[in-house]
Structure 1
Amino acid sequence: MSQANEPEPPATAKPKAPRCRKRRQRRKRQIAYLAICSLSVAVFGLALATLIRPAAAADADAELDADASNERTEKKGDDNNPQVEWRAGYAGHGTTHEQMGELHWAPVDYTPYKPTVNYTRPPTAPTTAMNPIFNFTHKLYDSIISDEPALPPGYIVMQGDSLALGPKFHNADFRDLIARYWLVLLFILFLCVIIVVMPFVAVCYCCLCCCRRCRQGCPPCTSKQDAQRRLWCGVCLLILIVGLIFGIVIAFVTNRLLDRGFDQATVTMKRGSDDICLFLKDVADHVHHLMVYNYEEMQTHISDELSSAHKHIFLDLADTSESTSLGELERILHNMPEARQLMEQVAKMETDLRFYGAQLRDGLRGMKRDINFAVANLCTTQECQTFLSSSSIELIDTSKCLHFDTIPNATLYLEGLNIVVKENYIKIPTDGLTRMENVSLKVKEQLNSVTPSMIRDLNGGRDTFRSHARRIRNQVDAVLSQIHLKTSRSSRSFDDVYDKFGNNRSVISVIVCLLMIMILGILIVSLLCGCFGRRKTGYRDDCCSKATAANCLFLAILLIFCMISFITLMGLVYFMIGLVTYQGACAPLRDVDKNGLFRQLDSMVDLNRYLPRADDAEPLKAAPPLRMSNALKMCEANQSVFDMLRANRLYDINELKRIKVMSSEEDSDSTKIFDEDMSKTELLTKEEFGKLEAMRQGGAANYHSELFKDLCSEFTPVNLNALGEKMYALSNSLESPTFGWARVSFWNEGLNAKSYYQNFIPKLTTIVEKMKSNMKRIDELILYENRDFNNSIRLLLKAVRESQNFIQTKGTRYINELGKNLTSTISNMIDEYISMVIDESNENVGRCEPLAYIYHQGVDLVCRSMVDPINGYWVGVLLCALLFLPILYVSHRLMCLYKKVYPYMASVASHVDVVYEGGCPVCTGLPYVQQTCAGGQQAYCACPGKEQGRPSGGAGPADEDPVFDGQVSLLEMNKHKQD
């Protein structure tokens, strides 16, 4: 029953086992076959490498011979092609510094000129307020004086180098001048009429009683009209007073400016003299700095380059030919003793590393065995099983840092380095460098035959530029000194004006100003009294009434009549002096091209006569005369002194380009600096090459620190200290009676873990770090481009062979190319120096701004300090003189208005009213009837009581009659006021 219920196995289950067995056997045979094939290939490769290595040196020699033949072929091609690629992939001469953008020869670093000149500054001009007046006089003279020449002969003459008033001016002979200009004639005639006629008008005004004859009219009837007349006349007088104030201010200020101009002329010219001296010194220092000091800097720089040229050429040759590889080889072999010492330390540390590592590894394996036994037999709890699976005890001895099978044996490298040091291979590259140094000595010997001539040419150029600097300084000194001399003398023009008038001029001018101020004060007082004082009543008039105003106006009229001719005469005199001196001092300096008088005077001054002639200077052909006008015009544009000298054909700074400093420039292309035969020059002999080839294949051939890359300090996958603490905790967690042996075992293994950590881990870590540090230092000492020792020496030997081949085939030509580059560089330095001197001279040397300042403060001083104040003075004086004419009329009219008496103002105290029948007898011409009161009393007497006044000659009521003061009769008051 039970057998029937059991399931039957599938039909395919029986033949499955034989097929799987056969498949496994077939796979095993395939694996064995592949292993045998791999082993055969490895053995064959090892044998082939052993056979190829001895032939490597022969192949290198064959490669060198092939390279030499190729170089010879290139040399033949180089002779036909001037564009030679000295070094593959490098432009120019194939040097490294050229690829970095640097030049073969350093440029000259010139010291810039720093001026230390502090020019004096003039005080602030106080004539700003008077400039409109001065400009008015300039425009006036320019508009009325238009002929050429502006002044007839005899009015302005030359005395030495300055202008002076001529004999016609001293003799007051202005006929020629007046005859030429009708407007001037009319103006002078008008002033003369005023001067002559006004005294007669004054006599008539005073003698014929015009001054006291004023129409009185009827003040009570014309009071309104009189008030309007007083208003308009007062306004007119106020306007005239304002104009009079303006004229007096102009006259007073210009008179002070004229006095100050004479006083400051000497100070201004002394300041100009100091500035011109500073300017000349600055120009001389700047020229000396450019042509002497900067040239000496260039000469010193070129001399230094020539003295070290052989070193420079040698270094460039070594760089381009890659002879520096010989130096690298010498460095490596020189460092061999130090590298050997470091390798000895590495070998000893390697032995210690392997010894201590084996002890630690064995200890860890024993600890792992004991822990596994304790977990399997002494502690069967889940806690122990979990500890075993989670603490990585099974992998504790499998760290790659604890297995040193892949680390090479440093003793082999030490033996190789010992052989290098023992055989004294350092002598080979040292001898090669000595042979290379012989090339430098040959270059130096060849350059010593060329350098003296270059130094001699540079010394001759220094003398040439020094002579040019001296010549330029003398010419500039002469030109500017004469310009300043002419300017200072011209600034003393018209000194005879001051000598002629002297102190009397100033006294008279001040008197005129004081007289005008006195008249002005009287007019102002009269106007104030007339505006704010009471009207004249004829009874108890105040001191500031209109009567006082009338008296002040009368006094002003008398003073004007007395002084107008004298004031006008002073203005006329100043007008004539200003006219003549303006045309002689101001106009020529403002318009030198169009002014005929200045052209006439300028033609008398040729500064070429004062210039020194150098002995070696070429004679100037058809040199135009150097006029002051040209010099001043150039300085006005703030050009350079050299522009002025070139424009006047005195000296052209651009001629420096024709100077040839180096006499050997013409045949520099055909001259060879180096002509030694270097085809037999050897850096290393064949025997030395063979020794070095054998050295690189010695015991240290494969050395590189990368071979020790498996050196590490992570010796266990877990921290042994932490593992010991875990085992302590596990031991303490187990029950004492049941798992007593397990507790003891785990506690002991925790002690072992901590002991292994304290005794082995720090020591092994220190050994590993020290080995890494030593091998890194060994790499720096004996490796090249971070290659192993074998490849480093191989590349350096290849570079030495190529360098030797370059020197033998192209060395002579390359040195000559560098020599030509040296001569061309020196020529370019000299050309750049000359261009720098020319540009600096044309742009920055001797800017004429100080000369323009001296011109404005010197020559223009005459116009600003004397002529302009003279013209301003006559403008102010004649303005006042012309304003006196309307002031006379307005003052007379206003005086008459102020003299009118208004008698009805006196009847205020009487309280009596009187009315005339038929109107005012003064206005209508009716007969006057004296009115009386009732009882026979006068009308102007107060009647007692309230009696009705009885008119004796009129019919009007008494209360409408005008009331008068009883003390003054109306007829008596008006008897002198009738027309």
Structure 2
Amino acid sequence: MSLPNITQPDYHPLPSPSAGGLQGLFNMVHSFLGVVQPNDFPTDFLTRLINHSAVITNPEVYKEALRYETGFLVCAVIGLLFVIFVPLVGLFFCCCRCCGQCGGSMYQKQTKNMNCKRKALFASLLAVTIILLAGVICAFVSNQRVTQSVDRGFRTLNNTMDNLNVYLNSIPQEINVLVDSISVPLDEANKSLIDIGDNLGEKIKAHLGEQVYRALNSAEQLLRVTSNVEQELYTVNNSASTLQNLQKELDVKLTTVRDNINKTLTDCGSSCGDVSVSNLKPGANLSTVPDVKEALKLINNLKSTDPNATIVKARKTLDDIPQKVSNQTKKVVSDAQGQLQRVKDQTDNIPGTFSILNALGNASQFMNDLTKKANEYEPIVATFDGYRWIIGICLCCLVLLIIVFNMLGLLFGALGLDPKVMPIYRGCASHSGGNFLMTSAGFSFIFGWLLMLLVGLIFFIGGNTYTLVCQPWANGRLLEFLDTPKLFPDLNLTRMLQLNNSNVTLSSLYNNCQSNQPLWSSLHMDDFIHLDKIFNLSEYTGDIDSTLNKINVSVGSTELLNENQKKHMWDLSKEDGPLHLDFAAAQKQLNQNMIKLDLSTLEKQLRDLAQKTPAVRKELEDEANELQQIQTWVNDNFPPKIRTLNSSIQRLQKNLPQIPVLVNSTLLQMEEAQTFMKVQTEEVIKNETSAFVNSVVGFFEKYLDWAKSMITGEVGRCGPAAWVLDSVNTIFCNYLVDSANAFWFSLGWCTVFLLPNIILAVRLAKFYRRMFMDDFYEDDDTEPMELSRQSMFKMPRAELRD
């Protein structure tokens, strides 16, 4: 019996958590957040807070929350200081510059290490600019990845929900496959009942016929041998009789010719005295062939009882057993087929006993509603994400603008500067480069605090989301927290899935489903579902068993050999009976010459003598011709008959010894077979009927074992349920949170590097801008002398300078 396998549905592929080349950046963000927030997930605090055991107005609650958020608070304080002091410092710096202080005076002292200092500042600012450029590139990519994540998130969510729907719908289908598979044992059982003649009758026939057929085969072999022996006996009898008659005729012929030759030789006188015909008589004594009539009589006596007919009848009795079984069990088979239909009706009700199927149906409907609602919000989310993308691009462009001013300043300054030219004679390109650097510093002062404010806000939200949601989600602490008893009543799986007396938790269910375990073990369904009770077909299989046990088969009886046949067989087995024939003497005689005297030699003697005795020539020649005719007659008649007789004797010598052995063996086997049929027939029928009934019921037992193993080991492999959480984790954490965190991290590092950018840009700008005053020249042999082409003194006043 071949039962079907349960095949798993086809699902959409899982979303890849690939970082798309940003894994290094993500690792940096994770490491930074790990330093900022090294505390474990606050399970106890959140539990007390949610259960209202911790009063939110209690200062201790705030202290505990602040202790947990210490790292974020430190970063927030640093960011707040940055937001406050950067614009304030920028304002003071601007005022000082306008007053000619803080490097605002257009005067540059010329020293020997001036070129080295300029190159060092150039290299440092270039390095800072490259770092800013790397950061803004990462910010651009991260900003774009957030948008892609939103778009991919909805598609992935739809695919995930489709997978879950396919999975939830597949469970009832798999249960239906199990239930529908009852048709396999039903069909097998029905087929066995329809072919009961072959299935039961043939086995009864084989069991009974094993010994009976062996006895019948032995009897048939005996009859074949006796038939062959009979033919050979007839041949021996006829051949011997014919040869004896021919020998009598030969004796007459030899006597007549012998008398004639003796008379002729007497008339011939002394000249013919050398020829003697005294041995002209038959040589072999064919009367020594044993009489086989008694043996033929015994065989004919056995044949007259027609044992072949008895054997044919016995074989027919056995061969008719399958048809008899089929005819005698029609009513029982009909009743059993009715019981099979009751089994079919009972199994049709099995799906209704799995209450969890209703819960799964509700879950499927809930997931459909959730997907529909999510799709309704997709345009709104996409719209707001568009705004977010524009804001992100603008923020990146602010940093990019500063980088552009840096690059222009470095480019124009480096290309336009002539180190040999006095500062007041610097070219326009060099002066423009310095102005670009000052512009870069100005924009850094203007936008740095704004960038830090936005970075701090996104950092606080994204960082806490990662540490409070994504990180504990990845290490399983979040599920353990959600499993806290009575913390979230709506997340009670026992109630949601209608699992009575089950201790299933989100963590245990997720862990089992990650390894694609079946629902039976994942939900501990053996605690509240008893398969033996659901698949309790014993009542119906018991009815089938009791119905089939009413089978009452009678195969009839037959006599393998009657007493008369046995008696005649025993007569054939007597060692000293008529079949004990000795052909040795006859064979010896058959091998001798039929005539003692050689007729050819005598004929030659007579012809030679006729040439010498003209008086009796004619008589001697006639007698020689007569001898020649006798020799021809003997050659034509005796050898074929003798060969036939010899062949028959040889075959008889081979077959006759077999008959007593075959008779004894056949009678013994017949006796045993007859006894076996009389004593064991009912037992054989009973045993084979019981085996047949067990085989029919065994179809259902095999089905039940298969169905239970499928339910406990294959039905509802819940990998797709775990894939839902994994997919949501991928969408939310890998796509959105990591991308958002990468964005603020990139902007944050750019914002931090704006400080060295300001310092280096301001310092380097003085090496490129055109000065208003020359530097004085120092000589060891002369007094210092200041060279000036402009007024050395001006009244301090606020003015704008280039």
Give the structure-1-normalised TM-score.
0.55
> How far 1:289 moved relative to its partner?
3.1
> How far 1:640 moved relative to its partner?
0.8
1:193 aligned to which of 45, 69, 81:
81
1:972 equivalent in alignment to 2:789: yes
CA deviation profile, 1:372-392 (whole Å, cap 9, x unmatched): xxxxxxxxxxxxxxxxxxxxx
Give the corresponding residue for 2:394. Answer: 511
> How far 1:481 moved relative to its partner?
2.2
CA 1:632–1:114 in 2, change beyond 3 Å: closer, same or farther? closer
Q: Secondary structure at the match of 2:183?
A: helix
- In the TM superposition, 1:227-242 aligns within 5 A as 227-242=115-130
**Is the CA contact (8 Å cut-off) linking 1:119 and 1:278 kept in structure 2?**
yes
Q: Distance in 1 between matches of 2:220 and 2:171?
A: 58
> How far 1:884 moved relative to its partner?
1.0
1:226 aligned to which of 108, 114, 123:
114
Q: Distance in 2 between matches of 1:459 and 1:791?
A: 59
1:799 equivalent in alignment to 2:669: yes
CA 1:463–1:134 in 2, change beyond 3 Å: closer, same or farther? farther
Give the corresponding residue for 1:44. Answer: none
- Say which is worse superposed, 889-898 or 635-644, in terms of deviation: 889-898
> How far 1:871 moved relative to its partner?
2.0
> How far 1:975 moved relative to its partner?
5.5
1:564 equivalent in alignment to 2:448: yes
**Is the CA contact (8 Å cut-off) linking 1:641 and 1:847 kept in structure 2?**
yes
1:298 aligned to which of 185, 195, 201:
185
1:254 aligned to which of 142, 149, 153:
142
> How far 1:878 moved relative to its partner?
1.5
Q: Distance in 1 between matches of 2:448 and 2:63?
A: 25
Give the corresponding residue for 2:516. Answer: 638
**Is the CA contact (8 Å cut-off) linking 1:632 and 1:852 kept in structure 2?**
yes
Amino acid at match of 1:468: I
Q: Which has the higher helix share?
A: 2
1:112 equivalent in alignment to 2:5: yes
Q: Distance in 1 between matches of 2:377 and 2:73?
A: 24
Consecutive unaligned residues in structure 1, runs of 5 or more: 1-107, 156-173, 352-407, 613-619, 703-763, 906-913, 929-969
Q: Distance in 2 between matches of 1:255 and 1:602?
A: 35
> How far 1:564 moved relative to its partner?
0.9
**Is the CA contact (8 Å cut-off) linking 1:279 and 1:846 kept in structure 2?**
yes
1:213 aligned to which of 81, 104, 109:
104
> How far 1:556 moved relative to its partner?
0.9
1:577 equivalent in alignment to 2:464: no
Give the corresponding residue for 1:554. Answer: 438
> How far 1:226 moved relative to its partner?
2.4
> How far 1:880 moved relative to its partner?
1.2
Q: Secondary structure at the match of 1:127?
A: coil
Q: Distance in 1 between matches of 2:67 and 2:751?
A: 25
2:157 aligned to which of 251, 260, 269:
269
Q: Distance in 2 between matches of 1:667 and 1:851?
A: 44
Give the corresponding residue for 1:761. Answer: none
Give the corresponding residue for 1:323. Answer: 212
Amino acid at match of 1:972: R
Q: Distance in 2 between matches of 1:696 and 1:528?
A: 133
> How far 1:508 moved relative to its partner?
0.8
> How far 1:886 moved relative to its partner?
2.0
1:864 aligned to which of 734, 738, 741:
734
Q: Secondary structure at the match of 1:143?
A: coil
Give the corresponding residue for 1:816. Answer: 686
CA 1:139–1:128 in 2, change beyond 3 Å: closer, same or farther? farther
1:685 equivalent in alignment to 2:549: no
Amino acid at match of 2:518: S
CA deviation profile, 1:484-505 (whole Å, cap 9, x unmatched): 4598599899989948955322
CA 1:233–1:665 in 2, change beyond 3 Å: closer, same or farther? farther
**Is the CA contact (8 Å cut-off) linking 2:458 and 2:744 kept in structure 1?**
yes
CA 1:419–1:677 in 2, change beyond 3 Å: closer, same or farther? closer
Q: Secondary structure at the match of 1:213?
A: coil
Aligned length: 648
> How far 1:148 moved relative to its partner?
3.9
Amino acid at match of 2:521: D
Amino acid at match of 2:84: V
1:287 aligned to which of 163, 175, 191:
175
Give the corresponding residue for 1:278. Answer: 166
> How far 1:887 moved relative to its partner?
1.6
> How far 1:673 moved relative to its partner?
5.8
**Is the CA contact (8 Å cut-off) linking 2:574 and 2:660 kept in structure 1?**
yes
1:143 equivalent in alignment to 2:57: no
CA deviation profile, 1:418-461 (whole Å, cap 9, x unmatched): 99999865322121123335666676677667656655554444
> How far 1:863 moved relative to its partner?
2.7
Q: Distance in 2 between matches of 1:458 and 1:664?
A: 11
1:605 aligned to which of 491, 497, 502:
491
Amino acid at match of 2:10: N
CA deviation profile, 1:772-823 (whole Å, cap 9, x unmatched): xxx9xxx9xxx9xxx9677556544533321221121222223323333344
Q: Which has the higher contact order (CA 8 A, sep 6+)?
A: 2
1:841 equivalent in alignment to 2:701: no
Q: Secondary structure at the match of 1:426?
A: helix
Give the corresponding residue for 2:405. Answer: 522
**Is the CA contact (8 Å cut-off) linking 2:514 and 2:719 kept in structure 1?**
yes
- In the TM superposition, 1:354-503 aligns within 5 A as 425-436=307-318, 455-469=337-351, 471-472=353-354, 474-475=357-358, 477-478=360-361, 481=364, 484=367, 498=381, 501-503=384-386
Q: Distance in 2 between matches of 1:490 and 1:149?
A: 34
> How far 1:191 moved relative to its partner?
1.5
CA 1:284–1:595 in 2, change beyond 3 Å: closer, same or farther? closer
CA 1:489–1:139 in 2, change beyond 3 Å: closer, same or farther? farther
Q: Distance in 1 between matches of 2:777 and 2:403?
A: 45
CA 1:588–1:927 in 2, change beyond 3 Å: closer, same or farther? closer
Q: Secondary structure at the match of 1:845?
A: coil
Consecutive unaligned residues in structure 2, runs of 5 or more: 51-61, 240-289, 580-639, 797-802
CA 1:282–1:198 in 2, change beyond 3 Å: closer, same or farther? same
